[in-house]
Structure 1
Amino acid sequence: MLLSLPVLLGILISPANSQLLFPVNSAQTPFEAPLRDCSGKAGRRWNVARPPRVAIVGAGAGGSSAAYFLRHFGDLKGAGLETEVTVYDQSDYVGGRATVIWPWNDDPFTSPRNTSDFPVELGASIFVSANRNLQKARKVFDLAEDAYGGEEGGMAIWDGERFVLEEEKLGWSWWQKAKLIWRYGRSPFTVRSLVQKTVADFVSLYSLEFVSRGAFTSVSNFTAITGLQEPASLHADEFFGKQGVADLFTNEIISAATQVNYGTPIHRLHGVGALVSLAATGAVSVRGGNRQIFENFVGRSGARLRLGDNARVQSILKLDAPRSGRAQWVVRTVSGVGSGTYDAVILAAPFHQTGIQMVNSLAPSRIPKQPYVPLYVSFIMTNASAPQASYFGLPDKTVMPVEIFGTFTTSSSSKPTFNSLNYLRALSPEASARLGEGTFHIVKMFSDRPLEADMLDDLFGQGNVAKMVVKRWLAYPKLEPVTKEDDFAPVRPDEGLYYPNSFERLISTMETATVSSFNAVSLLLNDFFGYVPPTSWAEWDNV
């Protein structure tokens, strides 16, 4: 998740501390109506003297944590769960969609020397107290925590014509809160109850009683036992309407949250995506970059790490299993360097974005094509202390907010020109001096198209923008409603092949990537050794 709507949702929603998350679940859990399992076979138990060789494709949150979890289980005394792991990633860094930037620097991807300015998140920016894997990892790896936020100032929601909601610079007074209740009625309280219940259900899934029942192969089965089938099957506006939430609140508040968290208005994503967006309060990050968590996952896993374009996986060939053994997999890189034969593959990247040719496997037919939302993340270096009031049709002396979120679902005839704007912080005098006169600020903006220079001049004032750095991400899946089981990819699309990214179709966050990888690792260990973890890693003692 790239940005939160912290102040407003903290006032109106106040969920139980957090963004949604989910742990592993049992494929053997009874259901009122069992769903068809389209996954591949588990294969024979491991009966070879050497440890199984595992290839992990992708070194983001999912792949890096999978390598660490395999090492964790391999280190259990007397368990016999050792594996030999190799991690591949075509990027030259570990972290995937979690990485940092120094946008004021000549080379924004290289840390400047002798600077007191920390980098800013280019990709996934936040996690919260209930994200137990990430919180535990931060503590185990002794990484400093920063409260996520921006410069002091007001916040507003903009529909392209007017601010439909605005926070005063000094905060939310009792009178402002009363006006909000007058405007939205009981809708904030209805939504708060929905979010609190869902978060509480998910947090309970970390328990020993739940996790010890084993891993699951079907995300459809997961939604069936967590009560997510209905919100996952409906567009968010329809789902909240059925719960009695007023259209005004949905179109102004919930839509702003889904637009900034998933780049999608409420009538284009499912209800689970909206619930996740509304639960993104209490945000924190790792000082110096969240990717340090994932670097530590890989670094402490003991896995072989192959990075860069030469390590890009070109093809994966399945070798049919002999009568008394298991299928093997040949992983080939574009350069041939690092190619090898493995007993299992964890594909921890969106399959259809990888360009990998899968040979002699039914996996491609079992992994539905998943479109992703393109998002432009722009960093503007400006000496304007706030946006220009004139850009929003306001008098010049108006005290302007420094956080602005766009909502695209009101009756406004003009739509916002960006999804969000956030003044992150002022640069140090040394960094500012390199850009021009005055104090420069880092402003982070999201949009669905590149921002034009003329628009930035109007927004910040002629000549007030010294530099802009832009990154286009395929940031998150398009979370259209899930109406049939085959909308989800199986966790095990073929024998010895595991696909933790199947969960992104339901929820896409850093935390859920680590938990889905734990589920994939649990499934692999059950297939190879008949082992079922007694608890989630987050609840494991003395780790």
Structure 2
Amino acid sequence: MLLASKTLVLALLVSPIATAQLLFPANQIHFAPPTAAHAASLDGTAGPRWTSSERVPRIAIIGAGAGGSSAAYFLKHFGDLAEHGLETDVTIYDAADYIGGRSTVIWPWNTDPFTDPKNRKWHDALSGDPGEAADDVVAPVELGASIFVDANKNLQKARRLFGLEEDAYGGEDGNMAIWDGEQFVFEEKGGGAVWDWWHKAKLLWRYGRSAFTVRSLVQKTVASFVRIYSADFVTQGAFASIGNFSAATELDNAASLVASDFFSQAGVSDLFTNELTSAATQVNYGAPVTRLHGVGALVSLAATGAVSVRGGNCQIFEHFVGRSGARLRLGENARVEEVLKLDSPGTESRARWVVKTASGVGGGTYDAVILAAPYHQTGIHIVNSLAPALIPKQPYVRLFVTFIITNASTPEPSYFGLKDGTTMPNEIFGTFTTISTRKPTFNSLNYLKELPPAIGARFGAAGNSSDTAPYHVVKMFSDRTLDAAMLDELFGQGNVAKTVEKTWLAYPKLAPVTKPDEQYAPVRPDEGLYYVNAMERLVSTMETETVAAFNVVSLLLDDFFGYTPPASWAEWPDEG
């Protein structure tokens, strides 16, 4: 879900001028008519139309992350169109005790790093509320999905519509480097500034025209993908097949190839791919270019204008749920253990679904279930349905996210085999695909922020630093636990005051898709059962979870009411 510690390589490929070119109005695109396969995908398990005049359909949504929360909101959005009779009665289940799924925040400097220390009063303090002292109040940092970008129209609209503050996502000022385990293969003074200046002579000298070639690929991909928000695209109808969606968005070729082969065939040098692109995929999807498909690499390179919501992107999903009017059931008692299909008694009635929780309370019988969580991670038993056989098992990357509180202003040169006194980067990305024999010990390192003195004072002086040395929050990604001895070498003996680790099944392993009908899960694996996460095999971001949710809701509305939205939510008037 793009847990990137900072935008990497992204604006390198697209200058501010090119950004505007990428985001031309999508409804200027011309489309081919729907394919026969697309049309056929809407039949089969759609079920009969909803005919009851006594009640509205009851919908269960399992998962309160980006997909589930936005699905609930979109159902409410269409239900408010009174003239269409699209009302539904929605209940959301999530075994976690918070909304947001893989989007959540952390206060690693606090005793309890996973709990809001001031019940969101930090926001008032930072906004100038005289009732709070801002010197010991700090906004949390992202623990999970960290960024969204210019082209993410649903999230951009949600942030604006819900009145949430935008932060340019980044870290402390400093230098950036790409590390292959033996040396820094690329360095740049001023950190992320290099990614804004793709035409710098240093870049062109090392990589030749590959930067231009990759920029062109990214432009084409983004331009093709943003068509999904246009009325022309939406009115073709919802997709029950991710393979058809991939073809319609022109992502199928890139999805069928390993990223290294995809870029090689496009004329990109191996040096550029193995250094810059592989560092981007490693931080964004926990995999080098040799172990994920071309779409994953293109997404990693397409984050122009990366931003986040001040205080946490999860606020978008909290607003989605809060404004949906849905019943919300969170925590272990709400963990769904079984979903049982009740076959329809006749041709004019629909199948129903019984949702059972592990606690035995809070379940119910529903007319449809939207599964908005990775099926094989949920532990849910789907009974009396062929759906389990139709959803291929999808492996996920296990990612270790470690926050370090340290008074070292940069990593130690000696850890990287450099002389004492060397000017060190405070933003380091690992690439695992160069010819080096010693590979990086972590995926990424990013100095997020300097803590104010009032908070730093909690930790006192440490190591070789003076009493006045500030403390920093450093975020690292790795494929294993970073032990204390390693961190002492990296930051200096005694300079680490605290560490907090979180292990995620962060994102799907994006192996090439060579057999779409077998490797993609169906969006509607059974009558009245809809699977938001089917799209993750193709692309996995916060935005595409909301795109998948809109598609699922559109499919459900067509199945139940014969209704096709005339426009995407992103292009719907705000008051709608």
Q: Is the 8 A contact 1:38 1:490 kept in 2?
A: no
With over 3 angstroms needed to count, the CA separation of the structure-2 counterparts of 1:215 and 1:175, relative to structure 1, is closer
1:123-165 deviation digits (Å, cap 9, x = unpaired): 0011112211111111111111111000000100000000000
Residues 462-513 of structure 1 deviation map (CA, whole Å, 9 limit, x = unaligned): 0000000000000000000001021000110000000010000000000000
Is 1:16 the counterpart of 2:15? The answer is no
Task: Tell me if structure 2 keeps the 8 A contact 1:4–1:283.
Answer: no
The residue number in structure 2 matching 1:517 is 549
Letter in 2 for 1:527: D
| Residue in structure 1 matching 2:442, options 418, 438, 448 | 418
- When structure 1 is superposed on structure 2, of 64-73 and 105-114 the one drifting more is 105-114
CA deviation after TM superposition for structure 1 residue 6, in Å: 3.2
Instruction: Quickly say closer, same or farther: Cα 1:434–1:199, change in 2 above 3 A.
Output: same
Instruction: Please say which of residues 177-186 and 337-346 is displaced more in the overlay.
Output: 177-186
**Residue 29 of structure 1: how far off its partner (Å):** 4.9
TM-superposed CA distance for 1:37, in Å, is 4.7
Provide the residue aligned with 1:349 in structure 2: 373
Q: Cα distance, 1:174 vs. partner?
A: 8.9
Q: Which residue pairs with 1:88 in the alignment?
A: 93
Aligned mates of 1:367, 1:240 — CA distance in 2: 30
Q: Which residue of 1 aligns with 2:475?
A: 444
Are 2:396 and 1:372 equivalent residues in the alignment? yes
TM-score (norm 2): 0.90
**Are the aligned partners of 1:4 and 1:281 in contact in 2 as well (CA < 8 Å)?**
no
> Cα distance, 1:5 vs. partner?
5.2
**1:481 correspondence with 2:512:** yes
Post-superposition CA distance 1:26-69 (Å, at most 9, x none): xx954488798598600000011210000000000000000000
> How far is 1:17 from its partner?
6.8
Q: CA deviation at 1:213?
A: 1.7
Number of the residue aligned with 1:459: 490
Q: Does 1:105 align with 2:137?
A: no
Q: Provide the rounded CA distance (Å) in 1 between the counterparts of 2:100 and 2:39.
A: 34
Quote how far apart the aligned CAs of 1:183 are: 1.3
Question: Partner letter of residue 237 of structure 1?
Answer: S
What corresponds to 1:282 in structure 2? 305
Which secondary structure does the structure 1 equivalent of 2:523 belong to? Answer: coil
The residue number in structure 2 matching 1:402 is 426
* 1:204 Cα offset (Å): 2.3
Instruction: Measure, in 2, the Cα distance between the counterparts of 1:174 and 1:302.
Output: 46
Equivalent pair of 1:31/1:225 in contact (CA under 8 Å): no
Deviations 1:278-318 (A, max 9, x none): 00231111111111110110111110000000100000000
CA distance in 2, matches of 1:405, 1:151: 15
Distance, in Å, in 2 between the alignment partners of 1:176 and 1:34 is 42
Give the Cα–Cα distance (whole angstroms) in 2 for the partners of residues 228 and 415 of structure 1.
Answer: 31
Q: Of 55, 65, 69, which residue of structure 2 is paired with 1:60?
A: 65
What is the match of residue 496 of structure 1? 528
- Relative distance call for 1:104 and 1:175 in structure 2 (3 A) is closer
| Cα distance in 2 between the residues matched to 1:39 and 1:162 | 56
User: Which of 180, 201, 205 is the aligned partner of 1:159?
Assistant: 180
Alignment CA distance shift 1:376-1:4 (3 Å): closer
Change in 2 beyond 3 A, CA 1:175/1:92: closer
Give, as a single letter, the amino acid of the residue that structure 2 aligns with 1:141.
Answer: F
SS of residue in 1 equivalent to 2:424: coil
Secondary structure of 1:537's partner? coil
What is the Cα deviation at residue 345 of structure 1?
Answer: 0.2
Provide Cα deviations, 1:103-132, integer angstroms capped at 9, x if missing partner.
000000122346421000000011112211
Q: Structure 1 residues 273, 210: closer, same or farther in 2, change over 3 A?
A: same
Structure 1: how far apart are the matches of 2:36 and 2:557? Answer: 28
Task: Check conservation: 1:374, 1:475, Cα contact below 8 A.
Answer: yes
Q: Structure 1 counterpart of 2:491, which letter?
A: F
Using the TM superposition, give the Cα deviation of residue 435 of structure 1 relative to its aligned residue in structure 2, in angstroms: 1.6
- What amino acid is the match of 1:198? T
Query: 1:246 aligned to 262, 269, 286, which one?
Result: 269
| Equivalent in the alignment of 2:7 | 6
SS in 1 for 2:425: coil
Work out whether residues 212 and 533 of structure 1, in 8 Å CA contact, stay in contact via their aligned partners in 2: yes
Q: How does 1:236-315 map to 2 (within 5 A)?
A: 236-315=259-338
Give, in angstroms, the shift of residue 257 of structure 1. Answer: 0.4
After TM superposition, the structure 1 stretch with the greater mean CA deviation from structure 2, 201-210 or 510-519, is: 201-210
CA–CA distance in structure 1, aligned partners of residues 65 and 77 of structure 2:
18
Q: Is the 8 A contact 1:18 1:131 kept in 2?
A: no
**1:322 is aligned with what amino acid?**
P
The CA distance in 1 between the partners of 2:528 and 2:66, in whole Å, is 21
- Give me the identity figure in percent: 69
Distance (whole Å) between structure 1 residues aligned to residue 229 and residue 275 of structure 2: 34
How much has 1:201 moved relative to structure 2? 1.1
CA deviation string 1:342-378 (max 9, x = no partner):
0000000000000001100010011000000000000
SS of 1:299's equivalent?
helix
The runs of 5 or more residues in structure 2 that have no matched partner are 27-31, 119-131, 462-468
Distance 1:175 1:521, change over 3 A: closer
SS at match of 1:539: coil
Q: State the TM-score, normalized to the length of structure 1.
A: 0.96
Kindly provide the amino acid, as one letter, of the partner of residue 82 in structure 1: E
Structure 2 residue 171 is the aligned partner of structure 1 residue 169: no
